[in-house]
Structure 1
Amino acid sequence: MTTLLHIDSSVFPGEASASRAVAETFRRTWQEQHPEGTVIYRDLAKDPVPHITADAHTAGFLDPTARTPEQAEAFGARLELIEELERADAVLIGAPMYNFSIPSTLKAWLDNVILFGRTAGDAPSAKGTPVTVVASRGGSYAPGTPREGYEYVQNLLGAILVDMMSLDAEFIVPELTMAPSNPAMAELVPLYEASRERAHQHAAAKAKQLALRV
């Protein structure tokens, strides 16, 4: 059976979150293709993982027999997250832009699963696993826009997921999500609606494509 690891990090619930809504389209389509499959779901807003600590960090580079009880306990929490990633046939991540970057809860999850010599480095344990990232944002940071230089979500996650962990990442980007609620962006509502529709279509198509691959 196939396994999808689904990570949400938006602080907003349900349809109030563009990243959650588009990720749900992907997940629903994926499950239609894999009705007997498994979905491992983590809602980092409701159930955040621990931020990395000195014990959790240093334990990753020690022989298990050399770890202190505190290090062993801290690394056990990391190991659960690492093994979820390694078991996954595909990964789905909701990554809204907050203050030009990713939510701190998602950064905490990444800090836990990145382990040089295992998930990162010369022979990453999840190498080649397809990762679909729904990178929603309130404005537009696309190439050629005034705020292009402030785009730190795709740049950051590309460096981590692809360069460090050798995962096969693709981004779906619903943008201008603040247009319906910000009067100053009223004229951009049609562009927001078109972006939202493209994102849902892209998510469904990507889920079907990956379902045939894994």
Structure 2
Amino acid sequence: MSNLLHLDASARTRSISRELSTAFAEAWRAENPDGGYRYRDLAAEPVPFIDAAWTELCDAVLAQDRTDLDRLAELVRTPEQAAAWAIVEPLLAEVLAADVILIGTPMYNYSIPASLKAWLDQVTFPRMSLGHRRFVVMTARGGAYSPGAPKAAFDYQERFLRDFFAGHFAVQDTVFVNAELANARQDPALAHLRGKHDESYALAMETARALAKEY
């Protein structure tokens, strides 16, 4: 049985990235009726930022060369570390239980929301590997940042996440589905690009649903 962990990070309750991730999740669940499903809204229920006790746990992982993620709790030594681990444990357990990790995220200021970064920090420890797990990321961008676009070099969203998953989790199987030019819906200066946005959005929705059947 396959398991899907579904995360949303947009501050908007009705956002394009949420629509895309929902489209994938619904198609995936239809394709995997017996599959496990867990949803977490990182904007509605923010994950706390890491603290000093969390860094001490990381130091212990390095000092003891601990790579078994199921035994990290054995490293807890102080009440502060126990409190830090109480935050990490359920989040990490959801990751380890998943085969596919679906993330819906907007681009904020060329990168990702703080809520998503906070989650990533909490579940990431030195020398960890998530092995067979696959990441699917549904994004919404106000502008155009795909290869060849004038602002392609400003894309610190996909680049950051792709490098993060490969560098920290040893996961190369990451797929991005991007809906671009979303600001054309609100900004009169971009009204002439509304047609291109609509095309990008429609293609992203179609891709999200089709991709779910492959996972």
For 2:213, what is the secondary structure of its paired residue? Answer: helix
| 1:13 match | 13
Cα-to-partner distance string for 1:103-144 (whole Å, 9 max, x where unaligned): 000000000111113xx3xxx1x2231110012100001122
1:130 counterpart (127, 130, 134): 134
Once the two structures are overlaid, the 10-residue window that deviates more, 160-169 or 107-116, is: 160-169
Give the CA deviation at 1:66.
Answer: 5.5
- Could you tell me which runs of 5 or more consecutive residues in structure 1 were left unpaired when the two chains were aligned: none
| Partner secondary structure for residue 28 of structure 1 | helix
C-alpha change, 1:66 and 1:205, in structure 2 (3 Å) is closer
Could you tell me which amino acid in structure 1 is paired with residue 185 of structure 2?
A: P
Q: Answer whether contact 1:44 1:105 (CA < 8 A) is retained.
A: yes
Instruction: Report the Cα distance in structure 2 between the residues aligned to 1:66 and 1:5, rounded to whole angstroms.
Output: 26
Paired residue type of 2:125: L
Write out aligned runs for 1:89-128 (5 A). Answer: 89-117=99-127, 120=128, 124=129, 126-128=130-132
TM-score, scaled to structure 2: 0.89
Structure 2 stretches of 5 or more lacking a match?
Answer: 65-73
Are 1:201 and 2:211 an aligned pair?
no
1:55–1:33 Cα change, 3 Å: same
Find the counterpart in structure 2 of residue 2 from structure 1. 2
Matching residue of 1:142: 146
Q: 1:22 aligns with which of 7, 15, 20?
A: 20
RMSD: 1.4
CA–CA distance in structure 1, aligned partners of residues 167 and 75 of structure 2: 31
Question: What is the one-letter code of the residue matched to 1:7?
Answer: L
Q: CA deviation at 1:61?
A: 3.9
Distance (Å, rounded) in 1 between the aligned partners of 2:75 and 2:155: 43
Task: After the TM superposition, list the runs of 4 or more consecutive aligned residues in structure 1 that deviate by more than 4 angstroms.
Answer: none
Q: Deviations over 1:53-81 (max 9, x none)?
A: 11022124437366101111211211221
The Cα shift of 1:201 comes to 0.8
Which one-letter code corresponds to 2:36 in the other structure?
Answer: T
Task: Name the residue aligned to 2:70.
Answer: none
Q: CA deviation at 1:95?
A: 1.7
Among candidates 158, 176, 179, match of residue 174 of structure 1: 179
Distance 2:29 2:146 in 1: 31
Residue by residue, what CA displacement relative to the aligned partner does 1:148-202 show, whole Å, maximum 9, x if unpaired?
Answer: 1111001100111123212221100000111021111111111001100110111
Q: Deviations over 1:9-67 (max 9, x none)?
A: 000113xx110001000000011011222211110110011101110221244373661
Q: 1:65 to 1:96 in 2, by over 3 A?
A: closer
Describe the SS at the equivalent of 1:83.
helix
Secondary structure of the 1:143 match is: coil
Q: Provide the residue aligned with 1:37 in structure 2.
A: 35
Secondary structure (helix, strand or coil) at the match of 1:135 reads strand
Q: With the length of structure 1 as denominator, give the TM-score of the two structures.
A: 0.90
Maintained 8 Å contact 1:9/1:45 = yes
SS in structure 2 of the partner of residue 95 of structure 1: strand
